[in-house]
């Protein structure tokens, strides 16, 4: 694939597909917006689960059990994400990235909006949490391929020398979504009383997401297909892979067997640290500080906002650094740094001081979550060959999400309740980051790899 150019009439050798700078811009905005919407939706949900869902949907249990139940509803979405990764991943590898990205944004937007219209437990009883879980599953089914598709699309559009920087837009999208959701919740907590928040205020952010969905759907209708997909030798008339290969287990077998197996498990390990740290820092700590340590809920919510703002500098700088020195050195530095600051950061976060809590969460968020995500976006795309890149990347992300992000907050809630202390949170941060460090040491350097190649890098 050649670098993008503003001359849309430029001729190239047969088999080479060009995209204009305008096309690259559209792909970049689409990828940023889609991941922003995904993470805004999920952060809205995770913060609602940590702050009010235990009261709105699980009012007949103790606060600790209610928090565990609310975290569990947060976690079930990751099961649906895995199903979406399998289904839409195969579709993306066979029919192209564009079609999948249009469908996923629609599914996420509709389900998130409907969550805001749900009746509560006080209105319809046990049916309320059942409907909540059902919409969470639908939301997760669409989200299961959204970030993978956006990651693949941006990496395949970007010039090789700028791939880390441009792919970091996916991470910026997640950061934008997290910031938007956290900012909305911070405003709600500041201006509404407890009674107003529980009665109707929590619905506002979910209903507002409808407008963002409309814009994202419009944008993706006008997006061109990935040039790497069109350059693939096995793509004929816009379709790749035979019907037999796309059937129930064909692509999965291709993704997990022979040489592709090593790349998949390496990517899974790379995903584990960022996903696990994210679930602890951005989801669990908010509820833990408010419910267990009785800290004002606005303090950790504001800390996420401040950390996300700093992330607008952290993410592209990490992506640019990866383009300059390689993916492995940056990964190694970030994982070691996260392990070193885990216990000191948790000491700050659990100190009770608003300034210390904010400082600790900002440090943990930028090093152990956003920094790793910036590297993850490009490295996982480069690890896989073009033939099954979408499927394998989606599977690695979602299996890692189930093992770390979905289970992590529930495990942390259980361990902190059992020990009566915060140290299990710090220990989990160290373990998650150590897994990614080992995977990095076993991975090849992928900077500058030709993404049109059908075979994996490992």
The residue that leads in pLDDT, 50 or 88, is 88
pLDDT band (50, 70, 90) for residue 332: very high
Cα dihedral sign for 181, 186, 191, 197? positive
pLDDT digits (tens, 9 = 90+) for 246-265: 454 444 444 444 345 789 99
81: which 2 tokens?
A: 């994400």
Q: Write down the pLDDT at residue 362.
A: 95
Is the Cβ–Cβ distance between 344 and 423 less than 8 Å? Answer: no
pLDDT band (50, 70, 90) for residue 90: confident
**Residue spans per domain, the chain:** 21-235+242-442
Is the Cβ–Cβ distance between 277 and 433 less than 8 Å? Answer: yes
Backbone angles phi, psi at 239, to 5 degrees: -125, 135
pTM of the model: 0.78
Cα–Cα–Cα angle for 40, 29, 215, rounded to 5 degrees: 65
Average pLDDT, the chain: 81
Residues in the chain: 458
Q: Write down the pLDDT at residue 237.
A: 60
Is the Cβ–Cβ distance between 90 and 391 less than 8 Å? Answer: yes
DSSP per position, 129-147: HHHHHHHHHHHHHHHHHHH
State the average pLDDT over residues 193-217.
83
Q: Which of 193, 129, 141, 143 is nearest to 40 (CA)?
A: 143
Q: Give exposure, 215-247, as e/b (b: 16+ Cβ within 10 Å).
A: ebeebbeebbbbbbbbbbeebeeeebbeeebbe
pLDDT digits (tens, 9 = 90+) for 344-369: 999 999 888 889 999 999 999 999 99
> Does residue 28 have a pLDDT over 90?
no
The residue that leads in pLDDT, 58 or 176, is 176
In terms of Cβ atoms closer than 10 Å to its own Cβ (0-12, 13-18, 19+), residue 15 is exposed
Neighbours of 114 (CB within 10 A): 17
How is residue 113 annotated by DSSP?
H
Cα–Cα distances in angstroms (integers) from residue 166 to residues 32, 275, 316, 320, 366, in the given order:
10, 21, 8, 9, 19
**Regarding the domain delimited by 21-235+242-442, which CATH topology (the fold level of the hierarchy) does it fall under?**
Growth Hormone; Chain: A; (1.20.1250)
Q: Write down the pLDDT at residue 266.
A: 94
pLDDT band (50, 70, 90) for residue 323: very high
% the chain with pLDDT above 70: 85
Q: Write down the pLDDT at residue 12.
A: 39
């Amino acid at each position: 694939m050649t670098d993008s150019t503003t001359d849309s009439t430029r001729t190239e050798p047969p088999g080479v597909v060009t995209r204009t700078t305008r096309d690259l811009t559209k792909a970049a905005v689409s990828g940023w917006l889609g991941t922003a919407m995904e993470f805004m939706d999920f952060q809205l949900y995770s913060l609602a689960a940590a702050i009010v869902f235990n009261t709105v949907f699980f009012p007949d249990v103790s606060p600790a059990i209610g928090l565990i139940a609310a975290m569990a509803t947060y976690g079930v979405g990751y099961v649906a994400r895995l199903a979406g990764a399998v289904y839409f991943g195969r579709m993306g590898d066979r029919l192209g990235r564009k079609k999948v990205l249009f469908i996923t944004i629609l599914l996420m937007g509709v389900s998130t909006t409907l969550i805001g219209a749900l009746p509560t437990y006080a209105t319809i009883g046990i049916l309320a949490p059942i409907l909540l879980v059902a919409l969470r599953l639908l939301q997760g089914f669409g989200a299961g391929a959204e970030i993978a598709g956006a990651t693949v699309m941006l990496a395949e559009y970007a010039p090789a020398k700028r791939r880390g920087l441009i792919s970091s837009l996916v991470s910026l999208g997640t950061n934008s979504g997290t910031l938007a959701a956290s900012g909305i919740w911070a405003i709600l907590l500041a201006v509404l009383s407890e009674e107003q928040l529980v009665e109707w205020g929590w619905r506002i952010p979910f209903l507002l997401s409808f407008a963002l969905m409309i814009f994202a759907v419009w944008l993706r209708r006008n997006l061109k297909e990935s040039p790497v997909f069109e350059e693939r030798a096995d793509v004929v008339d816009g379709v790749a892979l035979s019907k037999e290969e796309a059937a129930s287990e064909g692509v999965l077998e291709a993704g997990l067997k022979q040489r592709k197996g090593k790349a998949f498990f390496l990517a899974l390990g790379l995903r584990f640290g960022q996903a696990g740290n994210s679930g602890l820092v951005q989801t669990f700590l908010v509820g833990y500080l408010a419910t267990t340590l009785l800290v004002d809920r606005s303090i950790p919510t504001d800390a996420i906002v401040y950390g996300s703002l700093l992330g607008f500098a952290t993410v592209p700088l990490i992506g640019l650094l990866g383009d300059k020195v390689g993916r492995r050195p940056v990964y190694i530095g970030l994982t070691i740094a996260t392990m070193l600051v885990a216990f000191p950061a948790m000491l700050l976060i659990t100190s009770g001081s608003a300034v210390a809590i904010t400082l600790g969460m900002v440090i943990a968020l930028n090093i152990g979550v956003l920094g790793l995500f910036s590297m993850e976006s490009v490295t996982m795309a480069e690890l896989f060959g073009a033939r099954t890149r979408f499927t394998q990347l989606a599977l690695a992300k979602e299996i890692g999400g189930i093992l770390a992000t979905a289970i992590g907050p529930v495990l942390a809630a259980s361990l902190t309740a059992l020990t009566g202390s915060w140290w299990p949170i710090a220990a989990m941060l160290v373990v998650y980051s150590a897994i990614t460090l080992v995977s990095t040491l076993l991975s090849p350097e992928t900077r500058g790899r030709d993404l049109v190649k059908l075979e994996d890098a490992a």
